[in-house]
Amino acid sequence: MVHTYSLNGYNIAVDGNSGAIHLLDGVTFELLKGEEKMPSLTSVQEKLKDKYDVSEISEAYNEIEDLHKNGMLFSSASNLEAAVGAKSVTYSLKALCLNVAHDCNLRCEYCFASEGDYNSGRKLMSTDIALKAVDYLVAGSQGRRNIEIDFFGGEPLMNFDVVRDVVAYGRQLEKTMDKHFYFTITTNGTLLDKEKIDYINDTMDNVVISIDGRREVHDAVRHDRAGHGSHDKIIPLARNLVSGRNGKSYFVRGTFTAKNKDFSKDVMYLFDQGFKEISVEPVVGFGRNLHFKESDVSDVLREYENLSLQYIKRLSEDQQLSFYHFNINIYNGPCLYKRVTACGAGYEYLAVSPDGCLYPCHQFVGQDEFVLGNVVTGINNNEMYKMFKKNNILTKEACRDCWAKLFCSGGCHANAYFSNGSISEPNHIACTFQKKRIECAIMIQLIKADKGI
């Protein structure tokens, strides 16, 4: 399938089965628009005869025909399947998310983790369980040198000693094992102090700091147990941390809800606070007044386009900034295998609860039916393991015929499950938002190339 769209004066086509992107002139855009398969020259001439000369139509058609023959337009899904099937893959563990704290000092309104305890009681991971998890990752990562540990919660800084124990143990193992650890921590920022900031900047390869944007937006949903907002405390601490990163990765990660559909203001606010690496994402789930309904969709799509235009303006003014969802690499992106399989949740990436149970990812923690095993005995729920391993854009019915599949990789398994009861049935609203982000991202990359930004 081929998806055509116009945005900010650019006519664009995306081939769904190859991922090829094409910038189109007017006649070629009209030729491709609405076509579900490679059209005939006769049908195209009839379709465009009142708008373009025969010679223009024929020239455009010949270009399209060449692209079709080379597998870059109206390419076959069977070619994609064959390319993926030809790759020899050794499945092994790549990353663990350590939920070192099932507790949090905030009570965020939209928290998927039930305000920090995952409906399993407030508890902290012991050093013993944490180090067993590290051993499990090392043992399960055959064929990989680079492996990852993400410190998560709740709020992981509530269990700071265990974080330090894990990092020290990992660095010790690097001296005797052919492994290199990549450490990330996700924090709400309220417990940062000079000691923690210095430690994080010294040891963490990446840091994710949760800030939703403007004070009134942030404090409405990210507050403590007494209802006090956290914006004014987090902003200066986050600035201190970011200023000491010295080139190391970080990003400020926010959530927008149905109550702040003007979220471009929050993105720009965060840029103006001095944060240059930002991700602001829609709230996940349904059933509460913060979550999105079909009636909200058109407003959100318009706001993504609005954000993309503001983003381009700032880039053209030589401002150094990066919005996560607009960072599609249209030249040297992920390999085809990763585009098909996405995050690897359930087999390459697992989450560990404080008691050592293994889950497909951090968003499934606390759901008893998704326990895969534990860090001592390993995976024993083989049916669940197989279900996640085979769940990809080639096996999801809704994804197979979607133009965006090689850019979104099928979306989030957890979002699909908690909205539709199945990890293989993507959430419709989330897909719609994702497609618009992809459209905007492609347009931005084309403008950057076109104008040398």
Kindly state the greatest CA–CA separation across the chain. Answer: 75
- Please tell me the least confidently modeled range out of 3-12, 72-81, 143-152, 363-372: 72-81
Tell me the C-alpha to C-alpha distance, in Å, between residue 199 and each of 30, 50, 128, 297. 57, 68, 22, 42
**Bridge-based pairing state of the strands 146-152 and 95-99:** parallel
Closest CA to 242 of 266, 218, 271: 271
Confidence check: pLDDT of 233 > 80 = yes
Q: 187 has which bridge partners?
A: 209
DSSP per-residue string spanning 194-261: HHHHHHHHHH-SEEEEE--SSHHHHHHHSBBTTS-B-HHHHHHHHHHHHHT-TT-EEEEEEEE-TT--
Q: How confident is the model at residue 1 (pLDDT cuts 50, 70, 90)?
A: confident
DSSP-assigned letter for residue 453: -
**CB contact set of 428 (below 8 Å; sequence gap of 6+):** none
Q: Quote the pLDDT of residue 128.
A: 98
Angle, alpha carbons 117-359-106 (nearest 5°)? 20
Confidence check: pLDDT of 201 > 70 = yes
Q: 101 has which bridge partners?
A: 124
* Mean confidence (pLDDT) of the chain: 92
Helices assigned H by DSSP within 49-191 = 54-69, 77-85, 127-140, 160-174
Confidence check: pLDDT of 5 > 60 = yes
For the four alpha carbons of 386, 388, 394 and 400, in that order, the dihedral sign comes to positive
Confidence check: pLDDT of 86 > 60 = no
Count CB-CB contacts under 10 A for residue 120: 18
% of the chain exceeding 90 in pLDDT: 80
Q: How confident is the model at residue 223 (pLDDT cuts 50, 70, 90)?
A: very high
In the chain, where the domains are located = 2-75
Helices assigned H by DSSP within 382-427 = 382-389, 397-400, 405-408, 413-420
Q: How far is CA 112 from the centre of its chain?
A: 16
Length of the chain: 453
Q: Hey, what are 285's tokens? A: 């789930």
**SS3 of 432, please?**
helix
Confidence check: pLDDT of 186 > 90 = yes
% of the chain exceeding 70 in pLDDT: 95
- Please tell me the least confidently modeled range out of 2-6, 223-227, 277-281, 326-330: 326-330
Q: What is the reported pTM?
A: 0.93
Q: Quote the pLDDT of residue 286.
A: 60
Confidence check: pLDDT of 149 > 70 = yes
Q: Quote the pLDDT of residue 91.
A: 77
- Mind listing the pLDDT tens digit for each residue in 132-145? 999 999 999 999 99
- Mind listing the pLDDT tens digit for each residue in 47-62? 999 999 999 999 999 9
Closest CA to 381 of 358, 350, 364: 358
**CB contact set of 315 (below 8 Å; sequence gap of 6+):** 321, 444, 448, 453
- Mind listing the pLDDT tens digit for each residue in 306-342? 999 999 999 999 998 999 999 887 666 666 656 777 7
Mean pLDDT on 68-97: 81
Confidence check: pLDDT of 436 > 80 = yes
- Mind listing the pLDDT tens digit for each residue in 413-434? 999 998 899 999 999 999 999 9
Q: Do 298 and 306 touch, CB atoms closer than 8 A?
A: no
Q: Quote the pLDDT of residue 339.
A: 72
Mean pLDDT comparison of 87-101, 205-219, 402-416, 418-432, highest-scoring range: 205-219
- Is the previous residue joined to 154 through a cis bond, with omega within 30 degrees of 0? yes
